[in-house]
Amino acid sequence: MRSNLESMRTAFKQLFGSPVFIAGVAFSVRVLLMFYYSLNRLVEVRINTPYGYELGRVARAIAAGQGFSSPLRLFDTGPTAWFTPIYPYLVAGIFKIWGIYSYPSHIIIEMLNSAFVALTIIPIYSIARRSFGHSVAVAASWIWVFFPAAMFFPITWVWDTTLAALFLALLFWATLAMREMQTAAAWAGYGALWAIGVLINPSILSVFPFLLGWLLWHSYNAQAPWAKFAACTLLVFTIGLVPWTVRNYRVFGKFIVLRSNFGLELWVGNNPSVPDTAASWLHPNDNVEEGEKYKRMGEIAYMAEKEKEAILFMRTHPADTAYFMFRRFVNNWLGFTDSPIDSWSSSRYYVKILTVMNCLFSLFTLLGALFAHREKHREALPYAMVLLVFPVIFYVTHTSLRYRFPMDPIMVVLAAYGVASTISLFRTRFTRERESVTPIASVSAL
């Protein structure tokens, strides 16, 4: 009987420690949540709202045979380079099969996003197991199952957010694994994977030179042909971006490698009307006057003008710019822009819970990074690179937890390690205290 119980316990432990099983649970939870909200929605969802605004509009234009164009919801504005192509074409394919802005399309897109989030558990588990062991890997995977942002974004926002998170996790996993790879084909595949990731979400590009540099440094120290590996990676990566860059040049007559909208994003967060982090109401997708100006000037001229205005403001208002960047830094890591006291006193209970959870999440992520550094972990530096580099562009432009989400899987791994290391530290100290007290107690008894 005891043997049977032990066998069952082992089987359950293996099952609940399997990343495939955990991913299945994650997907099931999100599908159930999705249908719950769908059945209990009190009002009709307004057109565009569940489809990501600009991205949904571009997907609509593609599905309607108008090409990659017209990102604004109030105006048809012609060809665009607002996005890189992979996710808009994916949504357009769904629109083409199940209908533009239809309810079935909405369900399919949400299920697909939920699948992306669930699949992210595979690289989370693999990264954590490689770096910190099986227990941390299982803990990080289960944290991701019930992680609030990973439950919220796939079923409320149709954007490339969840796919970008999956790919950044895959790229990070590949970076760690590439240390043992000594073939040109593997490094070429690494470059191809980066090209796909960047064509999903260009913000991923920010960490590419740092992670690649870390890999090449290790190859150099191992006396491997690092220059050859670098050439293979960069050549394939560049080739992967060429078709989209050529398309942009043919359409706009200008060299646009990835996206055209940096000037607008910079201006939204840096202009005289910004109260704390961004003046989102001035965005041309919501502001009729700005939308008309965008249509009249054309996308490229409009973006160039906004970039010029933003840079002028930043140069003439350095104190305001520094203040805005600080507020964005706080918003990125703690999830609020108001002062903690004001945010706490005016928020509902669930917002307070989420605020506390987000603060603890960032705290344990930092602790995980510090523990890895203190223990001189051989892979501590890539984690630090992602944390330090990925959010920088959003400090300069404007922030959202949705923008941070692609690096949340790496943060989950560090947070799980931070919790495990903190518990281990307290256990060690408690054991030492007991051992130091026990001999004294024994002598007293004698």
How sure is the predictor about 346, in pLDDT bands with cuts at 50, 70 and 90? low
Distance CA 181, CA 187 (A): 8
Q: What is the pLDDT of residue 427?
A: 81
Q: What is the mean pLDDT of residues 331-340?
A: 77
Q: What is the pLDDT of residue 41?
A: 57
Q: Is residue 443 a part of any domain in this protein?
A: no
Bridge partner list, 79: 69
> To which residue do tokens 């490698």 refer?
257
Q: Is residue 440 a part of any domain in this protein?
A: no
Q: What is the pLDDT of residue 44?
A: 43
Whole-Å CA distances, 174 to 47, 142, 159, 193: 39, 22, 24, 9
Q: Is residue 19 a part of any domain in this protein?
A: yes
Comparing 86-90, 221-225, 390-394, the range with the smallest average pLDDT is 221-225
Residue 284: strand, helix, or coil? coil
How sure is the predictor about 355, in pLDDT bands with cuts at 50, 70 and 90? confident
Higher pLDDT, 179 or 343: 179
Q: Is residue 438 a part of any domain in this protein?
A: no
Question: Is the pLDDT assigned to residue 180 strictly greater than 90?
Answer: no
- Cβ 250 vs Cβ 256: under 8 Å: no
The percentage of residues in the chain with a pLDDT greater than 90, rounded to a whole number, is 74
Number of domains observed in the structure of the chain: 1
Which structural domain range is residue 270 located in? 2-433
Q: Is residue 445 a part of any domain in this protein?
A: no
Q: Is residue 446 a part of any domain in this protein?
A: no
Question: Is the pLDDT assigned to residue 120 strictly greater than 70?
Answer: yes
Q: What is the mean pLDDT of residues 206-210?
A: 97
Instruction: Quote the mean pLDDT of the chain.
Output: 90
Q: Is residue 439 a part of any domain in this protein?
A: no
Query: What are the residues whose beta carbons fall under 8 Å from the beta carbon of 31, sequence distance 6 or more?
Result: 111, 114
Q: What is the mean pLDDT of residues 326-341?
A: 81
- Cβ 223 vs Cβ 230: under 8 Å: no
Query: What's the full length of the chain, in residues?
Result: 446
| Closest by CA position to 324, among listed 263, 417, 397, 265 | 397
Comparing 79-83, 384-388, 399-403, the range with the smallest average pLDDT is 399-403
pLDDT digits (tens, 9 = 90+) for 269-296: 999 999 988 999 999 998 999 999 999 9
Question: Is the pLDDT assigned to residue 446 strictly greater than 50?
Answer: no
- Cβ 51 vs Cβ 164: under 8 Å: no
Distance CA 418, CA 340 (A): 24
3-state secondary structure 321-372: HHHHHHHHHHHHHHCCCCCHHHHHHHCCHHHHHHHHHHHHHHHHHHHHHHHH
Distance CA 68, CA 77 (A): 11
The model's pTM? 0.92
* DSSP code string of 221-279: HTT--HHHHHHHHHHHHHHHHHHHHHHHHHHHSS--SS-STHHHHHHHHSSTT-SSS--
Q: What is the mean pLDDT of residues 369-384?
A: 92
Q: Is residue 282 a part of any domain in this protein?
A: yes
